[in-house]
Structure 1
Amino acid sequence: MSNSSKKRSGKILIVDDEDGIRYSLKGILEDEEFYVTEAETGEKAIESLEEDQPDLVFLDIWLPGMDGLNVLEYIKKEWEWLPVVMISGHGNIETAVSAIKKGAFDFIEKPLSLEKVVITANKALEFSRLQTENEALKTRIETEQPARLTGVSESISSMRETIKQVAPTDAWVLITGENGTGKEIVARSIHAFSKRNDKPLVAVNCAAIPEELIESELFGHEKGSFTGAEKAQIGKFELADRGTLFLDEIGDMSLKTQAKILRILQEQRFERVGGRKTVNVDVRVIAATNKNLLQEISEGSFREDLYYRLKVFPLEVPPLRERAGDIPLLINEFIERLVRRHGFKQLEFSPETIKIMQNYQWPGNVRELKNFVERMLIMYGGKVVGPDKLPPEILQTPAVAEDKDDSSSTLFLPEGEIDFKQARTEFEARFLEAKLKEFDGSVSKLAEAVGLERSSLYRKLKTYGIQID
């Protein structure tokens, strides 16, 4: 008999037309703390599969009506992942080989050995668990990127320290920030420093999945549960069990899905779409959004209870324009990574070019910078990029008006086209500069007046080149 420390919980279906066999098997398995259901025919076995959704099936080959091999074929067609152990009192090598070829996990003969039954059950359930973990590992390999925050700016240095503090806990984290700032890198950094880093981090882009499919993506589904569900599928929550689930763009999730997510987050259990079996998970959740969720709540498009459930530990990722000093480091990292990955020729940006790039506002943030560096590598690999090779949108960086004493002067706009974000940034710089003079250079008074944290205000003033006395 197996050691009690190796007992595994699970639901097992016994299919046999002999009452005595079912009674004996049930007693053995229940002693090992398994939950057991029974069926005496193949037809009733299929009904039980639909109803109870077991984790393992012990299946007799010789059954009245639909025989065991036909039931096995049906199971492998409908529930490919479900392990089946064939049992028979008339076993022979040909039958065993046929069963294994049809997908059976193992084959045991009557009279049944108590120890053999328990060992086989544990092995089959362990095999099923490993299949799930392998699928999760595949997802992890396909989606994970190096979890590295590049930069020496005060904001990034502070964020690295904060990540090291929150990561070892199981606290849920809500990451906010503009598109392209690196929210997913922050999430991966948290996971990398956590106690769960040997388990998968499973990422879900809530904005990229059609509304009608997001429940299936998150919770999984059973075969035939909806049009196109040709086989059972494990969902992201299940794949992330004992690991981390990253819900990106959580603000784009519908109210209906938000309600289901809230219940699952509270209970850590759910049913697959079209299924009745309860799946229990242990998942740490990290969510991210580029939206103002408090505004979304006031407009009725985001649940307040879900917001506070997710916002155990809030983290805001600063936009690239607030940490322009990190741009040279980011450029070098992107060049090294892209050269290594795609074999591009090395590229160098002149100091003057980098200075112009640091003055540009980068509305697409780090993602825009990375894409720009890749474009330059394709076009000018092996050369030095001077200002003449920069596109108009970067060259036309807003400048501060020379008459700094006239706080009421009109907003200076450079020649050529300028977009709304650039105009807004220019206005903000002029506004803060004028207000700072109004408060005689007191950053504390200015921060209180404009409703900003002092650290955030200092970053803005530094970014805009505004001198602080």
Structure 2
Amino acid sequence: MERLSVLIIEDDGQLAEVLARFLRRQGFEVETATEAGMALQKMFARVFDIVLSDIRLPDRSGIEVLQEIKRAFPQTIVLMMTAFSSIDSAVEAVRLGADDYLSKPLQLDDVKMRIERALERRRLQARVADLQQQLTERYRFGNIIGKSKPMQELFRILERVARSSATVLIVGRTGTGKELVARAIHYNSPRANGPFVDINCGALPAELLESELFGHVRGAFTGATESRPGLFEVAHGGTLFLDEVDALKPDLQVKLLRALQEKVIRRVGGRENIPVDVRIIAATT
């Protein structure tokens, strides 16, 4: 397996050498730079997997170096090194894209742990992106069976609908693939990276359905020993699919309408309005 490469940007030559020797023993390929200009020259000559940079450098701010690296090489892991007195700057660096920060004086075991943690986080992100791509491929409109003219027209409509933010009602007999269409709309929409949450409104009693959709606060009813978010909150940033929406009682329809119009919900027994960003796709026979 190819060794991961590390660039250390540190004007303290002794510290840089100690770090370099330690990381080489861990199996990394390591280069060092004593100032920002030299570091950026090396970065543009070859892409490094990991950068360890001091937050204060002789020629430029480490924050500026971070921003330039992230603009040009967004996949590079960057860990900022800082003295205790500059912790606020380190926190700002993380806000601007650094993967983590290390406090001086450095503890080599801590350096190793934080690098491993950043690598694991990056592997998980890559895995999530891969799974997301698989879902998108699985629910491409072309994967829905149907070659007749009416089906081809339906696909064109679905593509237009997916790109919009409109609330959707799917009508069809049981077994005709309403949920498949709903998922296809979601995974071909700008919300594809958000959650897709589904519920069968006809499968729960009305008193449970309200809590399931909107959540509840502690003590709202017998057995409500703790507050719990509803599916509107769980689906925030994504899509909520309401199957058998015609089973909703009139009072729940009013609450649903308010959520659609005002983009806020209120948990059962609660007084606080909670903003939600959810697209509704509903289905009925």
223, 226, 232: which one pairs with 2:227?
Answer: 232
Structure 2 counterpart of 1:219, from 214, 227, 233: 214
Partner of residue 195, structure 1: 190
- The structural deviation recorded for 1:168 is 0.7
Q: Is the 1:201–1:240 Cα contact (8 Å) retained in structure 2?
A: yes
CA deviation after TM superposition for structure 1 residue 114, in Å: 11
Counterpart residue number, 2:174: 179
CA shift digits 1:340-391 (9 cap, x unpaired): xxxxxxxxxxxxxxxxxxxxxxxxxxxxxxxxxxxxxxxxxxxxxxxxxxxx
The verdict on how the C-alpha distance between 1:257 and 1:153 changes in structure 2, with shifts beyond 3 A counting, is same
Give the number of equivalent residue pairs: 157
1:222 shift after superposition = 1.5
CA offset digits 1:398-457 (Å, max 9, x no partner): xxxxxxxxxxxxxxxxxxxxxxxxxxxxxxxxxxxxxxxxxxxxxxxxxxxxxxxxxxxx
Q: 2: distance between equivalents of 1:193 and 1:221?
A: 32
- Measured against aligned partners, the alpha-carbon deviations of 1:258-315 in whole angstroms (never above 9, x if no partner) come to 111111111010211122222101111111100xxxxxxxxxxxxxxxxxxxxxxxxx
- Corresponding letter in the other structure for 1:157: Q
> Is 1:159 matched up with 2:154?
yes
**Structure 2: gaps spanning 5 or more residues:** 1-85, 96-127
User: In the alignment, does 2:264 pair up with 1:275?
Assistant: no
- After TM superposition, the score normalised by the length of structure 2 is 0.50
Supply the distance in 1 between the matched residues of 2:157 and 2:175 (Cα, whole angstroms): 20
- Partners in 2 of 1:194 and 1:239 — Cα distance? 18
Alignment correspondent of 1:265: 260
- 1:406 matched to which residue of 2? none
Measured against aligned partners, the alpha-carbon deviations of 1:79-106 in whole angstroms (never above 9, x if no partner) come to xxxxxxxxxxxxxxxxxxxxxxxxxxxx
Please report how far the alpha carbon of residue 115 of structure 1 lies from its aligned counterpart in structure 2 after TM superposition: 5.2
- What is the CA–CA distance in structure 2 between the aligned matches of 1:270 and 1:190, rounded to whole Å? 24
Partner of 1:321: none
% identical equivalent positions: 47
Distance 2:180 2:153 in 1: 15
Whichever residue aligns with residue 253 of structure 2, its letter is: Q
Contact kept, 8 Å, 1:171 with 1:284, in 2: the verdict is yes
Distance 1:160 1:238 in 2: 30
Structure 1 residues 114, 272: closer, same or farther in 2, change over 3 A? farther
Relative to structure 1, the CA distance from residue 181 to residue 267 in structure 2 (aligned partners, 3 Å threshold; closer, same or farther) is same
The Cα RMSD (Å) is 2.8
Aligned letter for 1:205?
A: N
Name the aligned partner's letter for residue 161 of structure 1.
R
CA contact 1:149–1:156 (8 Å) conserved in 2: no
Give the Cα–Cα distance (whole angstroms) in 2 for the partners of residues 154 and 223 of structure 1: 53
Unaligned runs of 5+ in 1: 1-112, 123-136, 291-469
3-state DSSP class of the match of 1:204?
Answer: strand
Q: Which residue in 2 is equivalent to 1:62? A: none
Runs of 4+ in 1 over 6 A off after TM superposition: none
